[in-house]
Structure 1
Amino acid sequence: MNLSEIPMKSGSKPRSSNIELLRIYAMFFIVWCHLWAGEVAVSGGSFMSHLFANSLGIGAVDIFILITGYFLIRRTEFTLVRFFKILFQVIFYNFVIVAVFVALGSAPPKDLLVCLFPLAPTKFNVWFVSQYLALILLQPFISRLISSLTKTQYRALLCIMLLLTTDFLPAFPLGYMYSGSFKLSWFITLFLVGGYVRIHGIPAIHGGVYALMFVVLSILWSTSYLRGYTQIGYNSLLTLAVSVTLLCVALKTDIGSNKAVNWIASSTFAVYLIHQNYYLSHIIYRYTPDPIDSGFTAVFASGILYMVILFMAMVAIDKVRILIFDLCRVPRFEQWLSDKIISLARKTFAGSTVRSL
């Protein structure tokens, strides 16, 4: 099950794969940015070729959180199942990968214990995972707040959050003071934007117009990045604009329900966890092909091919993990643990708010 999908009831209409394809796109270019973008940057080529390369995968992190908001904004029930689903994945991959490196003599045995606490201030704490887990904990409360707001009030809240968390020019808006690309506050803003799109929809504009807007904004982003005209980060207004227009393109593109796309998309978060593991990331980067002398086109093409192979290999690994979790009844344990903690909270705290969870 995806981290942010809404489970379908038996006999319901198959889920459209347009957003799932966008999820794959986002994670693919997150991996691309981590492993290959640097190779492309130093491989020669004209300004136009680098403009093209930098126009791909813009706002991939933002897109991933927008999708989370799009799917979860209406889920107001309080549950810890999603939190444990993510946490147990993180612990599983940390432990298995570290165990392999310990067996090979490339990691100290103590790391087998340290890696079991991914939120502790250690080398196994990945910023995205920490912020995402915090967002998932807050999600039911955010969704419940939004359910009580009118459309006008929701817009006002969005405007305030955008003012307080985004950047565009130095000291404008106020993201430099209250937020940043790697902060929970920015994730909350993205969640709210994705939720707004889900609840109130997008302007009735032809999909081709959204696609053209996406291309134009991507070129502006890439030019600004290469020339240093504006503040460019995950919380840049320009990055957000690119991400939102691509989400609109996906919503306007009906590809039906594709089992292969949905199958791959359900493991995208695992791709992030695997390639960002402290020990494995160093190995993957070390053995990434390095055809610097081949020129821009060859480097770019080989990077795409290498990323596709690596991406699918990590998806295949996660399918094994899912099978292991199912055999060990981990999903059932996640539900049991969530129920127990919530039940304990109700007994411990006497407030009416807790009783209504």
Structure 2
Amino acid sequence: MLNRNQRNSNLEILRIVAMFFIIAHHFAVHGMGNIDFVASNPNNYIIFFCGILGKIGVVVFVLISAYFMINSKFTLRKLLVLGGEVYFYSVIFLLIFKIFLPPVEPITLENIGIYLLPISHSAYWFVTAYIVLMLISPFLNKFIKSLSKKNFIRLLLLCIVLWSIFPTFTPTFMDAGAPMFVGYSFQFVPILWFVVLYFIGSFIRLHFDIDKLSFKKLIAIFSLSMIITYVASCIIGYYDIIYPLSQNLHMWVGYPIEAVDDGILYMAPALENKLFVLIASTTLFLIFLKRKEFSNKYINYIAGSAFGVYLIHDNLIVRHYLWKTILNTSSYYNSSNLILFAIAALVLIYVACTGIDFIRRWTIEKLWIWIVDNKLNHLPDWIERQLKKFETYLDGYLK
């Protein structure tokens, strides 16, 4: 049994695995996203597989966070440290590419705000949704802990039916911007779905008895849900290659379904909120959670840079150079060595980005944490005073 200050390295390994999955997804979406697919090319099915991995990685990341956040206290310090990391990478890459390397897309006054205000401008969609989740987590925690186990189960079932089962088996038809069958509210909306995942991760932490499920059952459920997701993606993906945007069935990979307006019936089996992606992600989380706990400082430290790996390789400017210039991923579309190339690329990206983030953690982060702890340490009290003043004013105004 680990003490309260030790991190379970099983979940830290899973954090690393989840980031590998996300890089694999970006390999498919950004590396192979602008090529003309040929139906007879067997490499299509490698790309489809890479595409679904990232969706599982995202869900796993949020489940891990929820598992810990339900019993932890939100602090402004955590938010400032995380925000500092996001702003550092956004601004440093803007400066590097502005001064030394011309970006693929010109940096203009119109888009510079995205790089200077990456959170509010959703330069990283995951980060924006995650920080909102952090901000509302104290209220979610109070609400969750006020529920009985029975009512919590009812809430989970309702959420899963509305925002996972319903959109999984009911396609969306877009016609002149009007969604039919499944509307905007039931599609993948990041912060809404993150709240649902927060409920699931919290339930696992508070009420779920992991001993009731064997490794064999968990692995079987995970494998079956992965197979269903992959086969469905391959079938719809093949259909889309044969009849691109000309028939009534289409798989939209990497973007919310409702974002496209072309009068097509959409079926996307590998989005974050689809039922079998949810099942695969949750069972994978439970598999790692069920393993005997242990703590390894080296694994934990490496996992601490997983978020940095995401911020580096999926930076809006970096991603163009990474996939199109450095790796030239699309040139391997017809190669018989695509699998080997993909594995090598994922490992190279993870190792390189981890190394870069190590340097940041040894230098810039230490400085930033010192500033937060010594120069901004009065900020939480100041915010609390302003909130109380506002509450007093509001109470007086409403009376």
TM over 0.5: yes
Contact 1:58–1:242, Cα closer than 8 Å, also in 2: no
Are residues 45 and 335 of structure 1, via their aligned partners in 2, closer, same or farther at CA, if it must alter by over 3 Å? farther
Q: Percent identical across equivalent pairs?
A: 28
**Between 274-283 and 178-187, the greater mean CA deviation after superposition:** 178-187
1:238 aligns with 2:276: yes
Q: Which runs of 5+ in 1 are unaligned?
A: 1-7
User: What number of residue pairs does the alignment pair up?
Assistant: 338
Where in structure 2 are the equivalents of 1:1-40 lying within 5 Å? 14-36=6-28, 39=32
- Per the alignment, residue 3 of structure 1 pairs with none
Structure 1: distance between partners of 2:186 and 2:279? 18
Letter aligned with residue 302 of structure 1 = F
The answer to whether structure 1 residue 45 and structure 2 residue 42 are counterparts is yes
Aligned-pair distance for 1:117? 1.4
Partner Cα distance (2:98, 2:45) in 1: 46
Match 1:96 to one of 87, 92, 97: 92
Structure 1 residues 330 and 281: alpha-carbon distance in aligned structure 2, compared to 1, 3 A threshold: farther
- Pair 1:175–1:86, CA change in 2 (3 A): farther
Partner residue in 2 for 1:310: 349
Alignment of 1:309-328 (within 5 A): 309-323=348-362, 324-328=364-368
Q: Residues 129 and 180 of structure 1: is their aligned pair in 2 closer, same or farther, counting only changes over 3 Å?
A: farther
Is the CA contact 2:21–2:56 (under 8 Å) kept in the aligned structure 1? no
Does the 8 A contact of 1:91 with 1:117 survive in 2? Answer: yes
CA deviation map 1:89-129 (0-9, x unaligned): 111111111011111262548576652212344xx622212
Structure 1 distance, partners of 2:323, 2:48, is 24
Q: Indicate the residue corresponding to 1:152 in structure 2.
A: 150
Q: TM-score, normalised by structure 2?
A: 0.75
The answer on 1:206 being equivalent to 2:206 is no
Q: CA deviation at 1:184?
A: 1.0
In the alignment, is the contact (CA less than 8 A) between 2:67 and 2:201 conserved in 1?
yes
TM-score (norm 1): 0.83
Equivalent position amino acid for 1:207 in 2: F
Question: Cα 1:249–1:82, aligned 2, differ >3 Å: closer, same or farther?
Answer: same
Alpha-carbon distance between aligned partners in 2 of 1:191 and 1:34, rounded to the nearest angstrom: 24
* Match status 1:185 vs 2:183: no
Alpha-carbon distance, 1:23 to partner: 0.9
Work out whether 1:196 is the aligned partner of 2:203. Answer: yes
2:115 is matched by which residue type in structure 1?
C
CA distance in 2, matches of 1:39, 1:299: 11
Structure 2: state its 5+ residue gaps: 173-180, 237-248, 250-266
Question: In the alignment, residue 160 of structure 2 is paired with which amino acid?
Answer: L
Aligned: 1:343 with 2:379: no
1:178-211: per-residue Cα shift (whole Å, max 9, x none)? Answer: 2432421111001110111111124512112211
Give the Cα–Cα distance (whole angstroms) in 1 for the partners of residues 350 and 280 of structure 2.
Answer: 24
**Residue of structure 2 equivalent to 1:126:** 124
Question: What are the superposed Cα offsets for residues 291-347 of structure 1, whole Å, 9 maximum, x if unpaired?
Answer: 33431xx21122112211211211121122222221341442565433432332234
Counterpart Cα distance in 1 of 2:182 and 2:67: 23
* In structure 1, C-alpha distance between the alignment counterparts of 2:151 and 2:393, rounded to whole Å: 27
Given candidates 59, 69, 90, the residue that maps to 1:62 is 59
Structure whose alpha-carbon radius of gyration is higher: 2
Q: Tell me which stretches of 4 or more aligned residues in structure 1 moved more than 6 Å.
A: 40-43, 46-52
Name the CA distance, whole Å, in 1 between partners of 2:292 and 2:366: 32
Cα pair 1:91 1:116 within 8 Å, conserved: yes
The answer to whether 1:294 aligns with 2:335 is yes
